[in-house]
Amino acid sequence: MTKLGVLISGRGSHLKNLMDRCSRGEISASVATVISNNPDAPGLQFPREAGIETIVLSHKHFATREEYDAAVVEHLKRNGIDLTCLAGFMRLLSPVLIRAFPQRIMNVHPSLLPAFPGLHAQKQAVEYGAKITGVTVHFVDEGLDSGPVILQRTMDVQPDDTGDTLADRLLPIEHQTYADAVRLFCENRLKIDGRKVLIL
């Protein structure tokens, strides 16, 4: 069974979604460890209540991003993690972490990349006047939201949408799309061919 490591910074809705789907057998995996850079992250309650190993690695205790990521790598490797899932982890990863797990780090982003990368993608879409937006799950590379796309799903932007209302409507699609991508990984059905991710 695939062992997942999940990195969080906040409320942990993506973490809870993955935990629930693993426990129901929808994904042939288990969340083996959770790491947060934020000791006050509300999402820490979910793995703690479920008896999942949970650690806080505050980035404030490390001199550089590379030193922090090296500590994350050490913990993930010690736990034999097969796939690392970023779940609202509000830190850019350095090459130290990305190169330790090539094509084995996934992220979900609330836009149709390459449109609206970075923070507040929903607000960016509304302010730009986009008519359609959506969700992207991608493998993480050394750029900003620039890794190979695994899955994308679309949704109309309503004329009265705000960044917040759009975010609320997108979240269930994010949960489903992320879970589907993780499931495909666990079933060994993803093959990377340059920029393309083929679903076998």
Contact by Cβ (8 Å): 147, 138: yes
DSSP-derived secondary structure for 109-173: ESS-TTSS-SS-HHHHHHHHT-SEEEEEEEE--SSSS-SPEEEEEEEEPPTT--HHHHHHHHHHH
9 C-beta neighbours (distance < 10 Å), count: 19
Annotated active-site residue in 14, 109, 138, 175: 109
Instruction: Specify whether the backbone of 145 is left (phi greater than 0), alpha (psi in -120 to 50) or beta.
Output: left
Annotated catalytic residue 109:
yes
Positions annotated as catalytic residues are 109
